[in-house]
């Protein structure tokens, strides 16, 4: 601790992101990236944006991108907020909607950035304990609170919460903002964007990092009624006017315009997920039903931590959380068919080696 740090700096517990390896080539199934490159039209758009106008600031309001997204979702342009990745959008949302003297609620097993944001802004929070099957205990959210955050599908479990239950939560909490984090929704989940017109307290957050293969360009967004979006803009414009650069803007627009490519990539990931799940089930793995681009798996006999370490040695990165209740699970991103064959082969090798030793 340094004497120069503020009290907040001293008290935060920073998020640790999945390893971005610099040493060697891995089959990288640890940060839920897409195995497929961005649309060729995105690549083209980036090259076209590489021009002399880069000397100028970008459009601080991302007007054209909001146009494209609003048409995609049948919303009004003023119901859209764009940020530098959905992490930034979430960080700003916590500050925009939650107050210190109240207690927000999110699931105990969930995106591990939520408690980090809460600590950053000195917010109280209560963890809603997932049911034994890792489903969301939605009744835990029908209680007095200062705001709610639920990822749907949940991460790292991949499980969905039914729209009907989300609607109950929205109804019960009409005076508090309910954030539904749909980072992974495109892989078969149930989006609640359709509920925005009926619920002024609903904020949906999405990203281009996963289903649109653009983790490298950092664009995320929030959808909600204008009142919520105006709040986000107040905070954003008190922090950084130009959060999304010219190139990312152009890339994001092109990604939303190439719907065919998006659908193809998503359906390939879903197919690969189902094939992988079938294979793992035959190998004595328990797999939480997933509607996302990752699976959360636990072996009947062998410890997740051991599998994690051995996979790494064999060139496969997956994510392991050394945390109560989930410390015997691995979160495995869905790669290409080839990636997953490599992963399954290595898992088989490891199990063979353990059984022979």
Tell which positions 31-50 bind its own copies, by CB under 8 A. Answer: 31, 33-38, 42-43, 46-47, 49-50
Span interacting with its own copies, options 20-28, 160-168, 298-306, 322-330, rule CB under 8 A? 20-28
Q: Tell me how far, at minimum, the Cβ of 126 lies from its own copies, in Å.
A: 18
Window 69-88: residues binding its own copies (CB under 8 A) = 84-85, 87-88
Q: Tell me how far, at minimum, the Cβ of 69 lies from its own copies, in Å.
A: 18
Residue 145 near residue 96 (C-beta atoms within 8 A)? no
Which of 51, 133, 313, 324: binder of its own copies (CB under 8 A)?
A: 51
Letters for 141-180 (x = contact with its own copies by CB under 8 A, - = none) are: ----------------------------------xxx---
Q: How many residues bind its own copies (CB under 8 A)?
A: 89
According to the binding rule CB under 8 A, does residue 198 interact with its own copies? no
Per-residue b or e along 224-247, where b marks 16 or more CB atoms closer than 10 Å to that residue's CB: bbeebbebbbebbeeeeeebbbbb
According to the binding rule CB under 8 A, does residue 28 interact with its own copies? yes
According to the binding rule CB under 8 A, does residue 26 interact with its own copies? no
Please provide residue 251's backbone torsions phi and psi, each rounded to the nearest 5 degrees: -65, -45
According to the binding rule CB under 8 A, does residue 52 interact with its own copies? yes
Q: Tell me how far, at minimum, the Cβ of 179 lies from its own copies, in Å.
A: 11
DSSP conformation letters of 167-223 = HHHHHHTTTS-EEEE-TTGGGT----GGGTTT-TTEEEEEESSSTTS-TTT--EEEE
Which of 26, 41, 60, 279: binder of its own copies (CB under 8 A)?
A: 60
Pairing of strands 27-28, 316-317: parallel
Name every residue whose Cβ is closer than 8 Å to that of residue 211 and which is 6 or more positions away in sequence: 34, 184, 186, 187, 262, 265, 266, 269, 293
Which sign, positive or negative, has the C-alpha torsion 280, 282, 287, 293?
positive
Q: Which residue's CB is nearer to its own copies, number 200 or number 277? A: 200
Angle at 237 between CA 233 and CA 241, to 5 degrees: 115
Q: Tell me how far, at minimum, the Cβ of 351 lies from its own copies, in Å.
A: 29
Window 120-139: residues binding its own copies (CB under 8 A) = 120
Give how far Cα 182 sits from Cα of 168, 179, 234, 260, Å: 18, 9, 23, 21
Which of 247, 277, 344, 354: binder of its own copies (CB under 8 A)?
A: 247
User: How crowded is residue 252: how many other Cβ atoms within 10 Å of its Cβ?
Assistant: 27
Which of 74, 99, 162, 306: binder of its own copies (CB under 8 A)?
A: 99
Show the DSSP H helices in 237-313 as ranges: 246-257, 259-282, 304-313
Q: Tell me how far, at minimum, the Cβ of 257 lies from its own copies, in Å.
A: 16
Which of 96, 110, 154, 298: binder of its own copies (CB under 8 A)?
A: 96
Q: Where is 81: in which H helix or E strand?
A: strand 80-83
According to the binding rule CB under 8 A, does residue 238 interact with its own copies? yes
Q: Which residue's CB is nearer to its own copies, number 241 or number 278? A: 241
């Amino acid at each position: 601790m340094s004497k120069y740090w503020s009290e907040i700096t001293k008290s935060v517990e920073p998020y640790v992101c999945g390893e971005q390896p610099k040493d060697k080539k891995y089959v990288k199934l640890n940060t839920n990236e897409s195995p497929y490159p961005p649309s060729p039209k995105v690549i083209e758009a980036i090259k076209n944006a590489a021009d002399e106008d880069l000397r100028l600031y970008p459009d601080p309001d991302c007007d054209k991108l909001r146009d494209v997204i609003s048409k995609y979702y049948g919303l009004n342009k003023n119901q859209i907020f764009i940020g530098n990745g959905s992490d930034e959008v979430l960080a700003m949302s916590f500050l925009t909607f939650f107050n210190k003297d109240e207690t927000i609620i999110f699931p105990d097993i969930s995106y591990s950035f939520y408690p980090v944001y809460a600590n950053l802004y000195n917010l109280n929070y209560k963890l809603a304990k997932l049911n034994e099957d890792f489903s969301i205990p939605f009744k835990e959210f029908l209680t007095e609170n200062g705001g709610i955050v639920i990822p749907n599908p949940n991460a790292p479990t991949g499980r969905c919460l039914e729209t009907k239950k989300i609607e109950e939560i929205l109804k019960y909490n009409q005076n508090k903002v309910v954030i539904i984090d749909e980072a992974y929704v495109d892989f078969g989940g149930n989006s609640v964007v359709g509920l925005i017109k009926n619920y002024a307290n609903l904020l949906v957050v999405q990203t281009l990092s996963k289903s649109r293969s653009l983790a490298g360009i950092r664009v995320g967004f929030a959808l909600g009624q204008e009142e919520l979006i105006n709040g986000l803009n107040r905070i954003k414009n008190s922090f950084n006017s130009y959060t999304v650069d010219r190139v990312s803007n152009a890339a994001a627009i092109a990604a939303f315009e190439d719907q065919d490519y998006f659908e193809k990539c998503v359906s390939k990931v879903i197919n690969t997920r189902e094939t992988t799940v079938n294979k793992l089930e035959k190998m004595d793995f328990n797999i939480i039903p997933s509607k996302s681009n990752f699976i959360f798996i636990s072996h009947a006999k062998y410890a997740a931590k051991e599998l994690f370490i051995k996979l790494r040695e064999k060139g496969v990165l997956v994510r392991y959380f050394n945390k109560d209740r989930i410390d015997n699970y691995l979160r495995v991103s869905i790669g290409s068919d080839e990636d997953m064959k490599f992963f399954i082969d290595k898992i088989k090798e490891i199990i063979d080696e353990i059984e022979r030793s």
